[in-house]
């Protein structure tokens, strides 16, 4: 059973890498913020959600779209700006949404979508609806005051909301040590008396599953803050690997690349490799067809 979810993570990696591969063709004419290196936890989110969910993402929105199992074809079509895309070409990569699966909004102004998640939680609580609201953002959003406003209100009013902070250590090309006095994002939630959890790419899939199960179960009665420790293996925005760009160093990059659980899984398991290759080829094939049509 756990295997099924690891396979999903491998598929998500293949999809993102295929998008990076096609992006070089300059036919996806919108900025794309890929999450390559950060996908290891995604399948375990939906696995542990039982009931209605409303998610609000920032610009790195492919992750949540994939995690909630939004329609892949509609997503690809949106990246190409087609009328058949999930936003009819109005939003592109940075605004992905699929109301059918609960991705309500993606706002590329870092913390800007946090109040939207708060509003969803407020509405659910007032109307006594069993709905989980999720705010999904990165370490950069923690540098904006609105996070503190939202944590404060959610805590004081015990709103059913889950704050998921994916800490990939970088804001664009700037390392966190230049931006914050600590790389621990949970400290903001602690200050607001919000319950915290943390997972990292070095945790086992089983442990990640277990933590997410606890996180989601707790989020229906009071706010919860989950910090996801991760590392982005591709550039901030675009399709290239940026091993030594900005504040990155090669030793640091190599360290995290070796820790990447999806690469480890693909390299050690032939069936995982086959799954990866097949998914990658399929997405490339679909993209190629779209590219020929535009």
Partner 1 sequence: MNNLSHAQAILVSTEEYLKSDPSNVILCEGISDGFYSTIDLLSLKYPDQSYEIPCSENSMVGMALSASSYEVTTLVCLQRVEFALLAIEQLVNNSAKNSFFTDSQRNSPCLFRFVIGRGWGQGPSHSQSLETLFAQIPDINVFMPVFPNDSKLILSNFKSLHYPCISLEHRWTHYSFDTVASMDNRALSSYVVTNGKDLTVVAYSYNVLLAKAVADEFEKLNVGIEVINLFNLSQINAELIATSIAETRLLLILDLDKRSYSVSSEVLGQLALKGLLGCLTRPPKRLSNHGIYCPSSPKLSADYYLRGADIAQAACDLLDLDSYTKGTLLEKISALEQSVPSDVPNQTFSGPF
In the complex, the residues that contact partner 1 under the rule CB under 8 A are: 54, 87-88, 90-91, 95, 97, 99, 104-105, 107, 109, 112-120, 122-124, 126-127, 129, 145-146, 149-150, 152-153, 156
Q: How far is the CB of 127 from partner 1 (least distance, A)?
A: 4
Q: How far is the CB of 172 from partner 1 (least distance, A)?
A: 19
Q: How far is the CB of 278 from partner 1 (least distance, A)?
A: 33
The bridge status of strand 170-171 relative to strand 174-175 is: antiparallel
Q: What angle do CA 192, 196, 199 make, to 5 degrees?
A: 145
- Token readout for 186 is 């949970």
> Which residue from 167, 232, 203 is spatially nearest to 37, judged by alpha carbons?
232
Q: Distance between CA atoms of 72 and 293, rounded to whole angstroms?
A: 18
Q: Distance between CA atoms of 151 and 95, rounded to whole angstroms?
A: 23
Nearer to partner 1, 37 or 111 (CB): 111
Nearer to partner 1, 87 or 101 (CB): 87
Q: How far is the CB of 41 from partner 1 (least distance, A)?
A: 25
Nearer to partner 1, 149 or 183 (CB): 149
Q: How far is the CB of 116 from partner 1 (least distance, A)?
A: 4
Q: How far is the CB of 117 from partner 1 (least distance, A)?
A: 8
- How many alpha carbons fall within 13 Å on the CB side of residue 273? 5
Nearer to partner 1, 103 or 212 (CB): 103
Nearer to partner 1, 185 or 212 (CB): 185
Is residue 48 within 8 Å of residue 212, measured between CB atoms?
Answer: yes
The bridge status of strand 195-200 relative to strand 224-229 is: parallel
Fill in the DSSP letter of residue 224.
Answer: E
133 Cβ contact partners less than 8 Å away, ≥ 6 residues apart: 53, 54, 55, 56, 117, 118, 120, 121, 124, 159, 160, 161, 162
Nearer to partner 1, 18 or 68 (CB): 68
């Amino acid at each position: 059973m756990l295997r099924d979810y690891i396979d999903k993570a491998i598929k998500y990696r293949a999809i993102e890498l295929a998008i990076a591969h096609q992006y070089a063709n300059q036919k996806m004419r919108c900025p794309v913020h890929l999450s390559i290196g950060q996908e290891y936890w995604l399948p375990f989110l939906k696995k542990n959600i039982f009931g209605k969910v409303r998610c609000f993402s920032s610009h790195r929105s492919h992750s949540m779209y994939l995690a909630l199992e939004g329609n892949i074809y509609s997503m690809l079509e949106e990246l190409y700006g087609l009328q058949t895309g999930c936003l009819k070409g109005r939003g592109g990569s940075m605004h992905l949404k699929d109301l059918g699966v609960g991705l309500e909004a993606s706002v590329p102004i870092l913390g800007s979508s946090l109040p939207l998640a708060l509003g969803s939680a407020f509405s659910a609580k007032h109307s006594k609806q069993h709905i989980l609201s999720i705010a999904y953002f990165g370490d950069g959003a923690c540098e904006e005051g609105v996070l503190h406003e939202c944590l404060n209100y959610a805590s004081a009013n015990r709103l059913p909301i889950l704050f998921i902070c994916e800490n990939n250590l970088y804001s664009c090309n700037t390392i966190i040590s230049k931006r914050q006095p600590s790389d621990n994002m949970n400290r903001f939630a602690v200050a607001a008396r919000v319950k915290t959890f943390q997972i990292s790419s070095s945790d086992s899939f089983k442990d990640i599953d277990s933590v997410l199960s606890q996180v989601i179960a707790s989020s229906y009665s009071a706010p919860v803050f989950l910090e996801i420790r991760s590392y982005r293996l591709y550039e901030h925005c675009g399709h290239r690997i940026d091993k030594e760009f900005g504040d990155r160093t090669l030793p640091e990059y190599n360290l995290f690349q070796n820790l990447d659980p999806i690469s480890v899984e693909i390299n050690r398991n032939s069936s995982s490799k086959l799954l990866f290759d097949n998914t990658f080829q399929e997405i490339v094939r679909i993209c190629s067809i779209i590219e020929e049509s535009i």
